[in-house]
């Protein structure tokens, strides 16, 4: 399977309209099976496509894949997925975070490029987070990451060190923001955003 993924990734690197469509669907696929980092695909699209189409294709693909996985797992696979994953302590902690803080927790995790998007999708599906909160947090949280890595891909060969500095600053900024939001949320005694966890 990984060989096929690299084949489609090579098609993205060729550029043109086909690259935008292949990149879009490759990001959707990777949202389900994380065999490649989504920012890597976004960077490749930025390197071979005009900036605006590259950003749109990467952002729409990331959002569509995340939301499709969320809806499928909430409506079809909720009980078996939740029963299998509840054995893991880190999984239970992530689910508890999303149940308590909903929109802000999803937004925070979306802004961190190295946080597995697929895990956030599944965790959101098995909690009581409102659908509208998950959708808006995904749309808003995915946009900065896709813009940054698509632009980085476009400038990597011509402005390598400036691009590396930009990515480093983005990483520090998102890491600091995630820490600050997480600290604020831990101090807030508010009630959970979701009503009850489906499937319990």
In the chain, where are the structural domains located? 2-187
In whole angstroms, give the CA distance from residue 129 to residue 74. 11
In the prediction, which pLDDT does 197 show? 46
Q: pLDDT, tens digit, for every residue of 144-186?
A: 889 888 888 877 766 667 767 776 777 777 777 667 655 654 5
In the prediction, which pLDDT does 194 show? 44
Which residue ranges of the chain lie beneath pLDDT 50? 1-2, 185, 188-200
Q: What is the CA radius of gyration of the chain?
A: 17
- For the whole model, what pTM was predicted? 0.71
Q: What 3-state DSSP class applies to 62? A: helix
In the prediction, which pLDDT does 195 show? 44
In the prediction, which pLDDT does 81 show? 66
Q: How far is CA 59 from CA 48, 56, 98, 110, in A?
A: 16, 5, 23, 12
In the prediction, which pLDDT does 196 show? 44
User: Which residue, among 70, 49, 66, 50, has the nearest Cα to 145 in the 3D structure?
Assistant: 66
Q: How far is CA 63 from CA 69, 82, 86, in A?
A: 10, 22, 26
In the prediction, which pLDDT does 14 show? 66
């Amino acid at each position: 399977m990984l060989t096929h993924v690299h084949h489609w990734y090579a098609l993205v690197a060729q550029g043109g309209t086909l690259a935008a469509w292949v990149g879009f669907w490759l990001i959707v696929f990777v949202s389900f099976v994380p065999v490649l980092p989504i920012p890597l695909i976004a960077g490749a699209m930025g390197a071979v496509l005009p900036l605006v189409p590259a950003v749109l294709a990467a952002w729409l693909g990331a959002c569509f894949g995340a939301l499709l996985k969320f809806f499928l797992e909430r409506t079809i696979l909720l009980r078996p997925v939740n029963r299998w994953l509840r054995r893991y302590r880190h999984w239970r902690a992530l689910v508890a975070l999303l149940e308590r803080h909903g929109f802000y927790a999803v937004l925070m995790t979306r802004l961190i490029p190295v946080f597995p998007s697929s895990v956030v999708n599944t965790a959101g599906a098995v909690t009581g987070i409102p659908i509208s909160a998950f959708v808006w947090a995904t749309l808003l949280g995915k946009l900065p990451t896709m813009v940054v890595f698509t632009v980085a891909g476009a400038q990597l060969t011509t402005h390598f060190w400036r691009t590396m500095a930009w990515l480093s600053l983005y990483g520090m900024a998102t890491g600091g923001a995630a820490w600050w939001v997480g600290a604020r949320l831990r101090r807030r005694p508010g009630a959970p955003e979701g009503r009850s966890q489906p499937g319990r």
